[in-house]
Homo-oligomer: A and B are copies of this chain.
C-alpha cells in the first residue's frame, strides 16, 4: 500500500527519499500460479516509467508464456517506433542467447544457465536495464547450476538504480535473506485438483 507507514525508521544515514528510491531485489516463490504473471505486471509499471525492461527466461521449454512475451515485445516495439514507454528486451533459452546450442544433457542445461547468469551479471555492472525479470531463475540456483553466493554478491554490488525480480519455486534461503521483498504464492485451490488442465490465455 503506497500510503503505508514504515514499521521502523532505520538509522542508515539515508533520507526518506533516498531510502524510498533504493532499488529492490524482489523474489516471487511458492508452489502456486502468479509468480511470473506478477513479475510481468511489474514490467507494465516499469515500461510506463520508461525503464528498459530485460526479461531472461530460465525455463527448459520457452514455448510456454508466449502470451506475455508477445504483448511485452509489442510494447517494446512501440517504444522503438514512437518513444513511448521503455525498451523491452526478451531473452530465452533456445533463442538469441547461446544458452542452448544443443539440446540434451543436464550438463548442457547447467552450462547454459550459468552462461545466461553471467550475461546478466555483465549487464548489471553496465547498468543496462531499469528492471530485470529473471523468470524461473530460482531453479538453476536450487539445482546448483548457478552459485547462489555469486548471485547475491553481484546483486549487492550492482550500481545505480536497477530493480531485479526473480521467480520460481524453491527460492534459496540465502537469496531470501538477501532480498528486499519476498512473496510466497501459496495454493488455496487449483483447477488441476478438480481434473481441469491448463488452458490458453490462463497458463500461457
Beta-carbon contact of A8 and B195 below 8 Å: yes
* B contact residues around A199 at 8 Å (CB): 20-21
Beta-carbon contact of A201 and B45 below 8 Å: yes
How many residues does chain A have at the interface if contact means C-beta atoms less than 8 Å apart?
80
Looking at the assembled complex, report how far the CB atom of A37 sits from the nearest CB atom of chain B, in whole angstroms: 3
Beta-carbon contact of A180 and B194 below 8 Å: yes
Beta-carbon contact of A71 and B44 below 8 Å: yes
CA A204 to CA B185, docked complex, whole Å? 20
* B contact residues around A84 at 8 Å (CB): 74
Could you say which of A26-34, A99-107, A116-124, A144-152 contacts chain B? A26-34
In chain A, residues 159-193, which have Cβ atoms closer than 8 Å to a Cβ of chain B? 163, 176, 179-193
CA A176 to CA B131, docked complex, whole Å? 34
Give a binary string over A130-164; 1 marks a CB under 8 Å from any B CB, 0 the rest: 11000000000000000000000000000000010
Beta-carbon contact of B7 and A192 below 8 Å: yes
Name the CB-closest residue of B to A21.
B199
Looking at the assembled complex, report how far the CB atom of A52 sits from the nearest CB atom of chain B, in whole angstroms: 12
* B contact residues around A72 at 8 Å (CB): 44
A and B contact pairs by CB, cutoff 8 A, 17 listed: A22-B191, A24-B191, A24-B202, A33-B181, A39-B41, A41-B41, A45-B71, A48-B68, A49-B200, A49-B201, A51-B201, A130-B201, A179-B189, A180-B191, A181-B189, A182-B189, A184-B186
